[in-house]
Amino acid sequence: MEAFPSPLESAKFIAANSKDVSVEEEGARRVAESLFDKASSEEFGLAGWKSLHELNPRDAGEEAVGWVFLVDTLNFSFWSEREEQKYLVKYKGKTYSGYWSLCAAVNRALDDGTPITSASYFATMTLDQVRHVFRSDTEVPIPLLEERHRVLNESGTVLLEKFGGSFLTCVKMSEKSAQKLLHLVLENFPSYRDEAVFEKKKVSFYKRAQILVADTWSVLEGKGDGFFDDISSLTIFADYRIPQVLVHLKAMKYSEKLMKKLREGTVFQSGDREEVEIRGCSIWCCALICKHLLELYEKKGQDMREKINAVLLDYYLWDYAREHRAEMKDVPFHRVRCIYY
Ligand SMILES: Nc1nc2c(c(CN[C@H]3C=C[C@H](O)[C@@H]3O)cn2[C@@H]2O[C@H](COP(=O)(O)O)[C@@H](O)[C@H]2O)c(=O)[nH]1
C-alpha cells in the first residue's frame, strides 16, 4: 500500500465507486457559473484570509506561523449534539462558535499571557491547563478535550525534537513546495494522518494537513517561505461543512437512505463507508467546480490558474456555509467525533 495516497486520486476512486453519494456534474457546472464573477473579486482571493477574519493573525512572522500550526493541530470536531447547547467562547465583547471559538480561546490565552502557541508550553501542558485555556462560556465544554490534550503534547514534542520548536523551520525545509510540506507534516505528526480503507484500498483526505499548508500559505500571504509554486495541487478540506453546502447547492446528492440517517442525527464512525463517500465525493466535486471555473475563464482568454484553486474555492464555500446557516438548515451535516476534521 502507498505510504501517503493522494487525496485527489482517492477522491476520484471513491466518487467512481460511491453508492449513497453522487457528484452531480450539471450541478457542479452551475455552481462554477454562479461563481464566475466572484472568482476574480477580492473576497475570493488570498488576502481574504486576513481581511475577512478578525481572529486570524495580522502579521506574517514566525509567531503567526506558530499560531496557524497550533490552531490547525486542534482544528476538529466543533459540532454539538444539540444546536441550542453549544461550546461558545466570548472574546473582546463578541461570542464565537464552532471553529472560531477555538481561535477566540487561543487569542484569549495569549492576551492572558499564556504562551499557548509555544511548543515548549503545549508539549507539556497538563489536562487541567488545556481545560482552562479552552474553557467554555456555556455549560457545554469543548468536544474531545482529552484528545486535544494528547495531540497537543504529541505535536509539541515532535516540534521541539525535530524542528527546534518552530513550525517555520519545517516550512523552510519544504523549499516552497506545498506537497513537500504536506509530506513533512504527514511523516512527522501522526495526528494529521487522516486516512481510511475503501473497497479494500487505502485512501486519504488529509484535511488538517492540507488546511495547515493552505493556512501557512495564507498567513505568509503567498510570499517568501510561503511562496508555494504548487499550491493548486492541494484539494479542498473534507470537513463536515463543505459537504453540506455542496448538497445545498445541488452539486452533490445523497441517497434517500443516507439522507434519512443524517436527518436522524446518526453518529458515524471515522472510516464508515457513508462517511468516506461523503468526504471523497466532496473533494472530487470541488475539483470539477475548479476545472469548470478555469474553463469558463479560458473561453474568455483569461488564464486564472494563479487566482483559482481548490484552497480559495474551499475558503469561499466554507465562509458561504457560515453566512447561509439558516438557508442550509434542511441539509443535515454528517456527525463523526474524531480528531481529523
Ligand atoms: N473545509 C474547511 N473546513 C474548515 C475551515 C475552517 C476554518 N478556516 C477558516 C480560517 C481561515 C480561512 O479564511 C477559513 O475561512 C474550519 N474548518 C472545519 O469546519 C468545521 C467547523 O465548522 P463550524 O462548526 O461551522 O465552525 C470543522 O470540521 C473544522 O475543522 C475551512 O476553511 N475549510
**For position 238, what pLDDT does the model report?**
98
Look up residue 304 and give its amino acid: M
Interval 304-331 mean pLDDT: 94
pLDDT tens, 27-56?
999 999 999 999 988 878 899 999 999 999
Tell me how far the alpha carbon of residue 300 lies from the centroid of ligand 1, in angstroms. Answer: 32
Give Cβ neighbours of residue 106 (< 8 Å, ≥ 6 apart): 67, 70, 71, 116, 117, 133
- For ligand 1, what atom is nearest to the CA of residue 208? 30
Catalytic residue among 72, 225, 239, 314: 239
| pLDDT tens digit sequence for 55-113 | 999 999 999 999 999 999 999 999 999 989 999 999 999 999 999 999 999 999 999 99
Q: What is the mean pLDDT of the chain?
A: 97
C-alpha 174/C-alpha 325 separation (Å) is: 37
Residue owning grid cell 490547525:
72
For residue 306, pLDDT beyond 90? no
Q: DSSP assignment, residue 332?
A: P
What is the pLDDT averaged over residues 144-149? 98
Distance CA 260, CA 245 (A): 18
Cβ of 87 less than 6 Å from ligand 1: no
Q: Please check the confidence at residue 324 and state whether its pLDDT lies above 80.
A: yes
Check pocket membership of 134 for ligand 1, CB cut-off 6 A.
Answer: no
- Determine the distance separating the centroid of ligand 1 and the alpha carbon of 317, expressed in angstroms: 10
Grade residue 176 by pLDDT with cuts at 50, 70 and 90: very high
Which of 79, 206, 241 is the best mutation target for the ligand 1 pocket, counting ligand atoms within 8 Å of the beta carbon and taking the most?
241
- Residue 292 scores a pLDDT above 90: yes
Band the pLDDT of 1: cuts 50, 70, 90. Answer: low
C-alpha to C-alpha distances, 208 to 205, 264, 268, 319, 340, nearest whole angstrom: 9, 27, 19, 17, 6
Q: Taking phi first (over 0 means left), then psi (-120 to 50 degrees means alpha), and beta for anything else, what does residue 324 get?
A: alpha
Q: What percent of the chain lies above the pLDDT cut of 90?
A: 96
Report, as an integer, the average pLDDT of 224-247. Answer: 98
Atom of ligand 1 nearest to the CA of 78: 24
Q: From the CB of 282, is ligand 1 less than 6 Å away?
A: no
| d(C-alpha 31, C-alpha 207), whole Å | 22
- Determine which residue's CA is closest to atom 13 belonging to ligand 1: 49
**Residue 341 in contact with ligand 1 by CB distance below 6 A:** yes
CA atoms within 13 A on the CB side of 153: 12
Distance 99 CA to ligand 1 centre (A): 6
pLDDT in tens, 177-220: 999 999 999 999 999 999 999 999 999 999 999 999 999 999 99
* Residue 239: active-site member: yes
Buried b (16+ CB within 10 A) or exposed e, 157-173: ebbbeebebbbbebbee
pLDDT classification of 316: cutoffs 50, 70, 90:
very high
